[in-house]
Amino acid sequence: MADKELRQTLNLPETEFPMRAGLPKREPEWVKDWLAEDIYGKIRAARSESPSFILHLGPPYANGRFHMGHVLSYVLKDFIVRSKTMQNFNAPFVPGWDCHGLPIEWKVESELREKGKSKDDLSTKELRKLCRDYAGKWVSAQKEDWQRMGCLGDWDEPYLTMNPKNEAGMVRELGRLFNRGYVYKGVKSIMWSTVEETALAEAEIEYHDKESMAIFVAFPVKGTDENVVIWTTTPWTMPANRAVAYGEEVEYSLVEITQAHEKAAANIGAKYWFATELLESATKYCGIEEYAVLKTQKGSAFEGTVLQHPFYDREAPMIEGFHVTVDGGTGFVHIAPAHGAEDFQIGREVGLELECQVLGDGTYSNTVADLSQTDVALAGMDIWKAQKRIIEEMTAQGALLRWYKYSHSYPHSWRSKAPLIFRTTPQWFVAMDNDKNLRADALKEIDNVQWLPAYGRNRIYSMIEGRPDWCISRQRKWGVPITVFVHKHTGEVVNDAALFEHIAALVEAETIDAWDNRIEENRMEELFPAGWLASKGLSLDDLEPQRDILDVWFDSGTTHAHVMRAENERKGKESRFHREDGKRPADVYWEGSDQHRGWFHSSLLESVASYGEAPYETVLTHGFVVDGKGMKMSKSIGNGVEPEQLLKKYGMDIVRLWVAGSDYTEDIRYSDEIMAGISDGYRRFRNTFRYLLGNLSDFDAQTDTVPYADLPELEKWVLARMANVLTEVKEAYDSYTFHKAYRALYNFCATDLSNIYFDIRKDVLYCDAKSGHRRRSVQTVLMALLTEITTHLAPMMPFTTDEVWKERFGEAESVHLALWNDVNPEWQNEAVLEQFTPFWALREQVNLKVEALRSEGDVGSNLDVAVTLPSSAQDMNLPLTELLIVSAVSFSGDVVQAEKASGEKCPRCWSHHETMHATHTDVCQRCGEALDGLKAQGAAA
RNA sequence: GGGCUCAUAGCUCAGUUGGUUAGAGCACUGUGUUGAUAACGCAGGGGUCGGAAGUUCAAGUCUUCCUGAGCCCA
């Protein structure tokens, strides 16, 4: 028989499964198919009776397309949802979006400005409509991005913080916090943007270098000829000066000027106080060239000293300042309680005037006095523009010793990039330390939560421990209103649970506009339940509705309370969830480690205040995507990547493998080099699948499966290995260490299968009779491998594994509806693993000998080799000829020897034989039998 | 400036409570095969564990300092 004909008699792999994946093109089609088939809905239906597992999502902000950070975060979440689902948990995933807040309002305003309009031209309702549409547009775009990533989720019923139902949930939570005694109205010096005209959250502040005007100012000491010198970088706060602080332990010196630079403002003979340590630097700045030290004293000696304001006719007491340092300046600190956090704190403690005379737009109010020497009216003037006038006034008054430009790190608005100021304003707060002891309760609750990695516990603990009261109010439009009334005369907050619920119901029906519309349209009485006002003895005219809105961290911090209904909800509690398949606390919250100060933090405070417990049982955190060198990705450096590029270049399954292979507890690196490695890894999996599919093309599991007891040793060995690997993989998934699962599966495919098992079994698969027992045994194992590897890889590689599944089981099937099998106890065979242990050492020695033979040019493949093994090798009781893939094995002596095989090479199976088949004389015995089998089959057909 | 965290072969990762010549896979080099072929087999080279000092009989593994990086805060 000619070689070509012989080749026809082999059982070569047959499959349509392409070697090249073509992921970028095909994945979008598969996404469409999954949506059309409603895979998510089918899973929900199938798991409706299963125990639930809730991963609750922290809502992304509905602005812009997804970036690499989103990809990392949502792929990881999908690993959990899918792996839990395949372990028969009911693990719904409800996508959500954070829709309110400044960034969107700002964007809408700037779009208005481009059209030549102003936000003042619009009613609250109209402005919000634009914001709502804007957010909605990005929700749609991001939903597409999300689906494209192959993530499982309830895309038809996501939660949006701007959904009326969720907005109502926030109002209800606000009501609970009010009624439980956590919320108070106070004043506070807080970071304020004069451009956006709002208080800013911590997260909304960025630090950049700013050039300020630094000044040295002399305050005359009342009743003496001495002066105390302060240094500040905010001349605009001088009109608000109410005191000067000294450091209790700091040593100060009084100096008399004996020589000064000709341009210096200081006069010969003038006397100034400076901190001793800063004497040299401060006098130099002020152009004081020589001086005499008259006396020194400790700061505490200034107690009771009264100073004269440098340009107003009022006094400024000297007080002790805990924050005074001698790092720079003069050692004396100018105190303007309306314009600084420490200033405010000190001012309140000693009873200074706290009133803020700077308006929200950054101009002085009309209560600010004029500058008398230079005759300038500050009222109505922009504070930044006024600085020069104030300096001129102080110069005229002889109080200014020096001014110069000074560059330093200064807070700016993250949106407008405008420099921020401290301003004392009325705000609403959640109290951390009042009689409700929120801080103590929250700290206690932290230890009832599992933090992964463990250091997350300390991280959030120290943040909760050190944070100030939570300022929940914002002076903006796009957000949930603080739906309370303040009594015009008593200043008391007027509300109760019934009133809150009444308003919440209105919001649920009409969105947050329900509040503002009624106020703006003079229908305020509708905000009250019938008879409510009368029952309290109040009239509408007594009440001032609040127009502030809630901090967006309050929105997302309450999602635990209104997104998913607890299945184990205690009776008697009001139903507050818009879904029926959730539970509370959630099993897992999982976001980037920045959320220790963000969402984990606000959710914890809100939940503890409202329900007395944390909203989550486990909090996982992941790192950030950085470049190949570990550096943050940034536009200016140009080291970033866009998800879109990756989808085009590699496809999502490869991006998902990149995530799977990385240890997310640290920052994870992205580079072309890394992706090249991942792509190779993907190909290894793909080829493994292709080999499995190809060699199973003629296998019918129903009829051809061989019982475990009848399998050869090698098959039992592979199954034992797989059982161990699968156990390891399940443990890895359960502990959220996905890269261990990935690695275990990958190494199994690369070493146990590709290097060993597949290589050895090619002979049987190709050359044995098609339905021979040995071949069916191998196929039985291949079938198990295909099933187990595919299902256990499915959470990581949903596209490719489904492609494999459909290739094997038909287009109507989906791996994502499958469950993970329990590890078959029959496969767990330690004895067979032990039986093979000595074989691996032997194999290595044989390979070395064969390799030496090969390098001499005598042989090519192992089948050209015959080996002599130590006699002891017989004890293994294994079919060594096939396991070593050689033509012959003999036993003698105690070392391994290899030589070119003698006998005739069978042209069908390429192994060498001394005797050939009796009738098919050109081929070996085994191949001849296979040919007979084919002939018989042909005759039967 | 402060808090938390990280730093092992070119890459991604392992390295229990400190204890023999620091591991894996990939990549690389050589080579074989051409019946998994833009695939597969075999063999080989390559780290002294970011740097320095210290504790110890012994340190990648403990301490301190330094350098670099990330997150958060000021």
**Distance in angstroms: CA A887, C1' B39:** 24
C1' (B26) to CA (A159) span, angstroms: 42
CB neighbours of A490 closer than 8 A, spacing ≥ 6? none
The answer to whether A103 and A135 are in contact (CB under 8 A) is no
Integer angstrom CA distances of residue A277 from A244, A296, A331, A833, A861: 18, 11, 8, 76, 84
SS (H, E, C) A708-774: HHHCCHHHHHHHHHHHHHHHHHHHHHHCCCHHHHHHHHHHHHHHHHHHHHHHHHHHHHHHCCCCCHH
Of A409 and A242, the one with more pLDDT: A242
Q: Is the pLDDT of residue A574 over 60?
A: no
Could you check whether the bond before residue A103 is cis, i.e. omega within 30 degrees of 0?
A: no
Predicted confidence at residue A411, as pLDDT, reads: 81
Residue that is written with structure tokens 């001499």 in the block = A856
At A874-912, the pLDDT tens digits run 999 999 999 999 999 999 988 999 999 999 999 999 999
pLDDT digits (tens, 9 = 90+) for A816-866: 999 999 999 999 999 999 999 999 999 999 999 999 999 888 788 899 999
Do residues A217 and A336 touch, judged by C-beta distance below 8 A? no
Higher pLDDT, A227 or A18: A18
CA-nearest of A772, A478, A430 to A608 is A430
DSSP characters over A484-541: -EEETTT--EE--HHHHHHHHHHHHHH-THHHHHHHHTT-GGGGS-TTHHHHHT--GG
- Phi and psi, residue A291, nearest 5°: -155, 165
DSSP single-letter state for residue A820:
P
Would you place residue A577 in the very low, low, confident or very high pLDDT band (cuts 50, 70, 90)?
very low
Are A190 and A427 spatial neighbours (Cβ–Cβ below 8 Å)?
yes
Q: Nearest nucleotide (C1') to the CA of residue A906?
A: B35
Identify the pLDDT of residue A326.
65
Distance A666 CA to B53 C1' (A): 28
Calculate the alpha carbon distances from A528 to A209, A504, A532, A644 in Å: 50, 11, 6, 51
Confidence category of residue A202, pLDDT binned at 50, 70, 90: low
Nearest to A707 by CA among A804, A830, A824, A808: A824
First to last CA, chain A: 22
Residue A97 has a CB neighbour count (10 Å cut-off) of: 24
Strand nucleotide closest to residue A13 (CA to C1') = B36
Whether the pLDDT of residue A926 is over 70: the answer is yes
A205-220 sheet: strands from edge to edge: A288-298, A251-260, A271-275, A226-232, A205-220, A400-413
Tell me which protein residue sits closest to nucleotide B73, measuring alpha carbon to C1': A463
CA A744 / C1′ B23 distance in Å: 15
Determine the Cα–Cα distance for residues A926 and A909; give it in Å rounded to an integer.
9
CA distance A914 to A894: 25
Report chain A's mean pLDDT, rounded to a whole number. Answer: 89
**Phi, psi torsion values for A575, nearest 5 degrees:** -75, 125
- Over the stretch A142-194, which tens digit does the pLDDT of each residue have? 999 999 999 999 999 899 999 999 999 999 999 999 999 999 998 887 888 88
pTM of the model: 0.87
Q: Determine the nucleotide nearest to A850 by Cα–C1' distance.
A: B42
Query: Under a CB-based contact definition with an 8 Å cutoff, are residues A689 and A782 in contact?
Result: no
Residue nearest to nucleotide B14 (CA to C1'): A740
Asked if residue A814 lies in contact with residue A806, where contact means CB atoms within 8 angstroms, the answer is yes
pLDDT in tens, A497-532: 999 999 999 999 999 999 999 999 999 999 999 999
**Banded model confidence at residue A576, pLDDT cuts 50, 70, 90:** very low
Residue A62 has pLDDT above 50, yes or no: yes
Residue–nucleotide distance: A215 CA to B47 C1' (Å): 57
Please say whether the beta carbons of A694 and A649 come within 8 A. no
CA of A675 to C1' of B14 (A): 21
- What are A488's two structure tokens? 């015009």
pLDDT at A582: 59
The pLDDT of A540-559, averaged and rounded, is 95
Which pLDDT tens digit goes with each residue over A625-668? Answer: 999 999 999 888 888 999 999 999 999 999 999 999 999 999 99
- Those nucleotides of strand B lying less than 7 Å from any protein Cβ are 3-6, 10-14, 24-27, 30-44, 68-74
DSSP secondary structure, A161-219, as one string: TTSHHHHHHHHHHHHHHHHTT-EEEEEEEEEEETTTTEE--GGGEEEEEEEEEEEEEEE
Distance, CA of A132 to CA of A125 (rounded, Å): 10
pLDDT of residue A337: 83
Q: What is the CA radius of gyration of chain A?
A: 39
| Distance in Å, residue A676 CA to nucleotide B27 C1' | 9
CA A285 to chain centre: 48
Residue A423 is predicted with a pLDDT of: 86
Distance of A514 CA from B36 C1′ (whole Å): 67
Look at residue A827 in the predicted model and tell me its pLDDT: 97
Nucleotide nearest the Cα atom of A629 (by C1'): B69
Do β-strands A288-298 and A251-260 pair in parallel, antiparallel, or remain unpaired? Answer: antiparallel
- Return the exposure string of A626-659: e unless at least 16 CB atoms fall within 10 Å of the residue's CB, then b: bbeeeeebeeeeebbbebeebbeebbbbbbbbbb
Cα–Cα distance between A1 and A6 in angstroms, integer? 6
User: Distance between CA A131 and CA A128 in Å, rounded?
Assistant: 5
For the record, the structure tokens of A856 come out as 């001499």
Output the pLDDT for position A303. Answer: 81
What is the CB neighbour count within 10 angstroms for residue A526?
14
Q: Which residues pair with A231 in a beta bridge?
A: A216
Which CA-bearing residue is nearest the C1' of B11? A674
pLDDT class for A569, splitting at 50, 70, 90?
Answer: very low
For A562-577, the three-class secondary structure string (H helix, E strand, C coil) is HCCCECCCCCCCCCCC
A934: Cβ contacts below 8 Å, ≥ 6 apart: A9, A769, A770
- Which are the contacts of A109, defined by CB distance < 8 A and separation ≥ 6? A119
| Residue A693 pLDDT exceeds 80 | yes
Nucleotide with the nearest C1' to A860 CA: B32
| Distance between CA atoms of residues A112 and A683, nearest Å | 51
Secondary element (H or E) of residue A461: helix A455-466
Contacts 24+ apart (CB under 8 A), A530-539: A532/A498, A532/A499, A532/A502, A536/A494, A538/A487, A538/A494
Closest nucleotide C1' to the C-alpha of A675? B11
Q: Which residue in A245, A193, A199 sits closest to A219, CA to CA?
A: A245
Q: Which nucleotide is nearest to A766 (CA to C1')?
A: B35
> Between helices A102-114 and A124-148, what is the axis angle to 10°?
110
Quick one: what percent of chain A has pLDDT higher than 70?
A: 96
Return the closest nucleotide (C1') to the Cα of A661: B12
Instruction: Find the range with the poorest average confidence among A355-364, A401-410, A530-539, A845-854.
Output: A401-410
Closest residue to B24 (CA to C1') is: A747
| CA dihedral angle for residue A538, residue A551, residue A125, residue A156, rounded to 10 degrees | -120
**Å separating the CA of residue A891 from the C1' of nucleotide B3:** 69
Rounded Cα–Cα distance for residues A438 and A596 (Å) = 17
pLDDT at A415: 67
Rounded mean pLDDT of A254-281? 77
pLDDT at A566 over 60: no
**Percentage, residues of chain A above pLDDT 90:** 64
pLDDT at residue A430 is higher than 50: yes
Question: Residue A411: CB partners within 8 Å, gap ≥ 6?
Answer: A191, A205, A206, A207, A419, A420
Find which nucleotide's C1' atom is closest to A751's CA: B25
Q: Calculate mean pLDDT across residues A245-265.
A: 77
A570 band by pLDDT with thresholds 50, 70 and 90: very low
pLDDT at A572: 37
Measured distance CA(A72)–CA(A572) in Å, rounded:
40
Highest mean pLDDT among A315-319, A573-577, A705-709: A705-709
Which residues, in sequence order, are bridge partners of residue A924? A916
What does the pLDDT average to over A570-597? 69
Q: Which residue approaches B39 most closely, CA to C1'?
A: A687
Residues in chain A, total:
941
Nearest DNA or RNA nucleotide to A7 (CA to C1'): B35
Q: A746-776, pLDDT tens digit by residue? A: 999 999 999 999 999 999 999 999 999 999 9
d(CA A63, CA A24): 25
| Range in A30-34, A270-274, A702-706, A807-811 with the lowest mean pLDDT | A270-274
Between these two residues, A196 and A179, which has the higher pLDDT value? A179
pLDDT of residue A568: 39
A287, A264 contact by CB (below 8 A)? yes
pLDDT value, residue A578: 43
Question: What does the alpha-carbon distance between residue A12 and residue A694 come to, in Å, rounded to a whole number?
Answer: 8
In angstroms, how far is B67 C1' from A209 CA? Answer: 25
Q: Is the pLDDT of residue A573 over 60?
A: no
Q: For residue A227, is pLDDT > 80?
A: yes
CA/C1' separation A615–B16 (Å): 34
Return d(Cα A592, Cα A903) in angstroms, integer: 66
- Å from A893 (CA) to B40 (C1')? 33
State mean pLDDT over A100-108: 91
Query: Is the distance from CB of A626 to CB of A674 less than 8 angstroms?
Result: no
